[in-house]
Chain A
Amino acid sequence: ETGVTQTPRHLVMGMTNKKSLKCEQHLGHNAMYWYKQSAKKPLELMFVYNFKEQTENNSVPSRFSPECPNSSHLFLHLHTLQPEDSALYLCASSQPPSSPLHFGNGTRLTVT
Chain B
Amino acid sequence: QKEVEQNSGPLSVPEGAIASLNCTYSDRGSQSFFWYRQYSGKSPELIMFIYSNGDKEDGRFTAQLNKASQYVSLLIRDSQPSDSATYLCAVNPAVETGTASKLTFGTGTRLQVTL
Contacts and interface: CB of A to CB of B under 8 A. Distances in A.
Contacts of A49: 100
Contacts of B32: 98
Interface residues of B, number: 29
A55 B100 contact: yes
A56 B101 CA distance: 10
B44 interface: yes
A69 interface: no
Contacts of A43: 44, 88, 90, 103, 105
Interface residues of A, number: 27
Contacts of B80: none
Given A40-B107, A42-B106, A104 B43 contact: yes
The B interface, classified by DSSP as helix, strand, loop or mixed, is loop
Interface string A66-88: 00000000000000000000001
Given A90-B43, A101-B34, 12 more contacts: A42-B104, A43-B103, A45-B103, A50-B98, A90-B44, A96-B98, A97-B100, A97-B101, A98-B32, A101-B101, A102-B46, A104-B43
Nearest to B45: A103
B31 interface: yes
Contacts of A30: 100
A18 B88 CA distance: 32
Interface of B: 4, 31-32, 34, 36, 42-46, 49, 51, 88, 90, 92, 95-108
A77 B45 CA distance: 25
Nearest to A99: B101
A42 B103 contact: no
Nearest to A106: B43
Contacts of B92: 98
Contacts of A90: 43-44
Nearest to B97: A97
26 contacts: A31-B101, A40-B107, A42-B88, A42-B106, A43-B103, A43-B105, A45-B103, A48-B100, A50-B98, A50-B99, A88-B43, A90-B43, A90-B44, A94-B101, A96-B98, A97-B96, A97-B99, A98-B31, A98-B92, A100-B34, A100-B101, A101-B46, A101-B90, A101-B101, A105-B43, A106-B43
